[in-house]
Amino acid sequence: MKLAEWRTLQGLSQPELAKKLSTTPKTISSWENGHTIPGREDMARIHQETGEAVSANDFYGLGADALDPDCAPA
């Protein structure tokens, strides 16, 4: 699940999520728009805060929604 999707489902604004993750709203926007990717420590906080709903794979386009059905394991 993408970070923006999770945030919206939780009813959080970018500033609210930024506060929870100890970062800035500008950084949240940058991650959500794909301009930057969270570092290891930020990714650990995201993973924990989202209850593992958002993972590093989601930032690299490797989330379940990115799988090509013709290439998915049987």
Q: What is the mean pLDDT of each run of 10 residues along the chain (74 residues)?
A: 94 97 97 93 94 88 53 47
Domain count, the chain: 1
Structural domain includes residue 48:
yes
Q: What is the reported pLDDT for 31?
A: 95
Q: Which domain holds residue 42?
A: 3-65
The structure's pTM equals 0.79
Q: What is the reported pLDDT for 66?
A: 46
Q: What is the CATH number of the domain that holds 46?
A: 1.10.260.40
Helices (H), 1-74: 3-9, 14-20, 25-32, 40-49, 56-59
Q: What is the reported pLDDT for 59?
A: 84
d(CA 39, CA 16): 20
Q: Which helix (H) or strand (E) holds 74?
A: none
Q: What is the reported pLDDT for 63?
A: 52
Q: What is the reported pLDDT for 45?
A: 95
| Contacts of residue 53, Cβ cutoff 8 Å, sequence gap at least 6 | 1, 6
